[in-house]
Chain A
Amino acid sequence: GAVVSQHPSRVICKSGTSVKIECRSLDFQATTMFWYRQFPKKSLMLMATSNEGSKATYEQGVEKDKFLINHASLTLSTLTVTSAHPEDSSFYICSARRPSGSRYEQFFGPGTRLTVL
């Protein structure tokens, strides 16, 4: 299998606080993980690509100081939303790529719903 977990599944926080979301590949080592954001009834937008042991690559328009990404091990990547504001409320989904040559298939976590009051 290729199972990816996320924690927490849901978080409600006050404006100005920071929130950390964990993404784990449970049964494989993921050299590359991805973070996406999805607004209600919208598509997924790639925020950043995370490689183990190196700095994340952020997509255009994504503030790297706002969304801190750490990929400390081959099975764990974290996304920290710093000084969260109501406009950061969204559904955040991570994915992981299982190393397999030229096969680029991504497996997705169940998502984290963030509500900032």
Chain B
Amino acid sequence: AQSVAQPEDQVNVAEGNPLTVKCTYSVSGNPYLFWYVQYPNRGLQFLLKYITGDNLVKGSYGFEAEFNKSQTSFHLKKPSALVSDSALYFCAVRDIRQAGTALIFGKGTTLSVSS
């Protein structure tokens, strides 16, 4: 089965501190993993993806994610959080079982960055 789990509903961090938003996955075969961000009353914006290659993936707005095969994790990270990073973050895995290989999303994690 293809699935992702985001164990934290909310993450709180002070501006300037590093942030981590956790994601674990369960897949049959190779994982194709994605992170999206949703700002209030907006659609989803693509941040980054892991397909193959380097375990550390760099994306938009200074975000990066570390793929860890042994721990089946794909945590989103940023060295120094900004208040403007406050948003809802979704981890997703490509569903390779179905024709369209649609994304299967986690429940989302709300990131709150305080000044």
Binding partners A and B? no
